[in-house]
Amino acid sequence: MESAVFPTVLPTYNRADVAFVRGEGPYVFAEDGSRYLDFGAGIAVNAFGHANPRLVAALTAQANKLWHTSNLYRVPGQEALSKKLVENTFADTVFFTNSGAEACECAFKMARRYHFVSGHPEKFRIITFTGAFHGRTLAGIAAGGQEKYLEGFGPKVEGFDQVPPNDIKALEAAIGPATAALMIEPIQGEGGLHPMTPEFLRALRKLCDEHGLLLIFDEIQCGVGRTGTFFAYEQLGVTPDIMCVAKGIGGGFPLGACLATAEAAKGMTAGTHGSTYGGNPLGMAVGLEAITMVLEPGFLEHVRTVGSYMRQQLAGLIAEHPAVFEELRGQGLMLGLKLHVPNTDFVAAARKHGLLIVGAGENVVRLLPPLILTEDQVREGVKLLSDTAADFDANRKTAAA
């Protein structure tokens, strides 16, 4: 052959050379039949594990009736799911999307539009925080502010200012006459499970109230039960005006949502925003069943119990392998291990042991197992992490010898 063939799948990912063909609960099975314990859950998506019978039933029942009609007509599933979300959160209203990035876009547009209809079109800037991740659209990468995602995609979308998290002075200095909103992940996911202090998040609310700004929480990764409450903000004593949701809400079906108070949403009148697929009957059927499961008695309690058990087990693991692990971060079943060894190497080594985990910023590996995980499965995962760490301990000994 004369020249290399360009990959038919656009090569924007450094993919591991493994393909999964089926899943069951927290396990996935590769083409060769080998079994993996999935502590990545498709990046915090498969909150109920793989092939959850209730989600399969909800999806297939809807698939046999109607797939898509568009938003030119009423969609009963949207009415039911929005009602359930509104009843169980701060929000009054919901816009449905197919992804997290679109939920963020809706939030950006809503914040600008709010000030526009309030007679302040000059207020359009949104302050975000170093290490943030708000999706891969042009506005999303401007909001996230990460050079590695912005490079070559300029000019950067105007209107995003970034300050370090947990630094009130820097934030106060950044607020100006053009500021419209503050946007933050209560627990940064991609950025390395970098914890925001509750005091800082409460201070954000106070600053927003004082300056007439909207507070936007991006709970795409930390929401829908992952931290042990329906949404992470419930543990902070702070409510946002707008909240982005995705990942876990579809349990694996592409689904996102932008939740808001009636006040924050007051500019989003007919014709201002839309989506062909957003809120389609399939997504609504799955989302409704997913939310129903999360809110059933005992589910969130299970996340908290298994989360704290896992935390204990991981503390023991860190103590056993101090040359590999630096610290434990996170909450509920959104946990991270900051490493002394390169996280990409560790993720690959864990996969060889049959454990799937996900890298993040600040040399962290994320443990984002399905929320249905049992204590036995926690022990199984921690054993695999220990076996993986032992490889690195052994390598160090060989290198030192």
Ligand X SMILES: *Cc1c(COP(=O)(O)O)cnc(C)c1O
> Could you tell me which stretch among 127-135, 206-214, 264-272, 387-395 binds ligand X (CB under 6 A)?
127-135
Q: Answer positive or negative: Cα dihedral of 279, 281, 282, 288.
A: positive
DSSP codes of every residue in 209-239: HHHTPEEEEE-TTTTTTTTSSSSGGGGTT--
One residue of 189, 251, 283, 361 binding ligand X per CB under 6 A: 189
214-218/242-245 β-pairing: parallel
Whole-angstrom Cα distance, residue 331 to residue 136? 25
**CA angle (264 as vertex; 261, 266 as ends), nearest 5:** 105
Which is the catalytic residue, given 247, 325, 338, 392? 247
**According to the binding rule CB under 6 A, does residue 246 interact with ligand X?**
yes
**According to the binding rule CB under 6 A, does residue 133 interact with ligand X?**
yes
Q: Give the interface size with ligand X as a residue count (CB under 6 A).
A: 15
Contact 138, 153 (CB under 8 A): yes
Give the shortest CB-9-to-ligand X separation in angstroms: 17
**According to the binding rule CB under 6 A, does residue 104 interact with ligand X?**
yes
Q: What are the structure tokens assigned to 319, written together?
A: 């103590």
One residue of 40, 100, 281, 330 binding ligand X per CB under 6 A: 100
Edge-to-edge strand order for the sheet containing 27-30?
A: 20-24, 27-30, 35-38, 355-356
- Between residues 81 and 183, which has the closer beta carbon with respect to ligand X? 183
What residue type is assigned to position 98 of the chain?
N
29 a catalytic residue: no
- Between residues 100 and 287, which has the closer beta carbon with respect to ligand X? 100
Closest residue to ligand X, based on beta-carbon distance: 100
Which is the catalytic residue, given 90, 108, 200, 218? 218
**According to the binding rule CB under 6 A, does residue 146 interact with ligand X?**
no
Contacts of 366 (CB under 8 A, 6+ apart): 40, 44, 189, 193, 334, 335, 336, 357, 358, 359, 360
> Could you tell me which stretch among 5-13, 105-113, 120-128, 182-190 binds ligand X (CB under 6 A)?
182-190
218 a catalytic residue: yes
**According to the binding rule CB under 6 A, does residue 329 interact with ligand X?**
no
> Could you tell me which stretch among 185-193, 196-204, 357-365, 389-397 binds ligand X (CB under 6 A)?
185-193
Residue 221, CB half-sphere, CA atoms under 13 Å: how many? 31
Whole-angstrom Cα distance, residue 344 to residue 354? 15
**According to the binding rule CB under 6 A, does residue 361 interact with ligand X?**
no
End-to-end Cα separation, the chain, in angstroms = 47
Which is the catalytic residue, given 39, 108, 133, 392? 133
- Between residues 104 and 243, which has the closer beta carbon with respect to ligand X? 104
**According to the binding rule CB under 6 A, does residue 192 interact with ligand X?**
no
**According to the binding rule CB under 6 A, does residue 220 interact with ligand X?**
yes
247 a catalytic residue: yes
Which positions are catalytic?
133, 218, 247
Binding site for ligand X (CB under 6 A): 99-101, 104, 133-135, 185, 189-190, 218, 220-221, 246-247
